[in-house]
Amino acid sequence: MDLLRSTLTRARAALERGDVSSEELTRALIKQARRVQPVLNAFIAIDEDDALAAARRADAERGTARRAGAALAALHGIPLAHKDMFYRAGRASTCGSRILAQEIQPATATVLARLDAAGAFEFGRLGMSEFAYGVTGHNVHYGDVGNAWDAAHVAGGSSSGSASSVAACANFAALGTDTGASVRVPAACNGVVGIKTTFGAVSRAAAMPLSQSLDTVGLLARSVEDCALVFGVIAGADPADPPTNQWPFGEGWSWAPRGDLRGVRVGVAENFGHGDCSGEVAAAYAQSLDALRARGAEIVAVSVPDPDELQRAAMVVLQAEPAALHRQWMQTRADDYSPQVLTRLQAGLSIPAHEYIDALRLRSPMLERMRREVFAHCDALHAPVLTFAVPTRAETDVGGGPRMREMVSAFGRLTRPINFLGLPALSLPAGLAGGLPVGFQLIGPRFSEALLFGIGSAYQAERGFIDWHPRIALDSGAT
The answer to whether the beta carbons of residues 391 and 411 sit under 8 Å apart is no
Instruction: Please identify which of the residues 129, 160, 182, 476 carries the catalytic annotation.
Output: 182
Please tell me what DSSP assigns to residue 259. Answer: S
Instruction: Please identify which of the residues 6, 21, 22, 83 carries the catalytic annotation.
Output: 83
- Residues with Cβ within 8 Å of 447's Cβ and at least 6 positions away in sequence, in order, are 198, 201, 246, 247, 248, 249, 424
| Alpha-carbon distance values, 8 to 26, 76, 220, 437 (Å) | 12, 11, 11, 21
Beta-bridge partners for 426: 195, 442
Question: Is 196 one of the annotated active-site residues of the chain?
Answer: no
Q: Which amino acid is at 251?
A: E
Question: Is 182 one of the annotated active-site residues of the chain?
Answer: yes
The answer to whether the beta carbons of residues 415 and 180 sit under 8 Å apart is yes
Distance between CA 343 and CA 398 in Å, rounded? 12
**One-letter-per-residue 3-state SS of 283-305:** HHHHHHHHHHHHCCCEEEEECCC
Element (H, E) at 83: strand 79-83
Question: Is 158 one of the annotated active-site residues of the chain?
Answer: yes
The answer to whether the beta carbons of residues 194 and 184 sit under 8 Å apart is yes
Q: Nearest Cα to 181, choosing from 204, 164, 155, 158?
A: 158
Instruction: Please identify which of the residues 6, 97, 158, 338 carries the catalytic annotation.
Output: 158
Distance between CA 21 and CA 200 in Å, rounded? 36
Active-site residues, by number, are 83, 158, 182
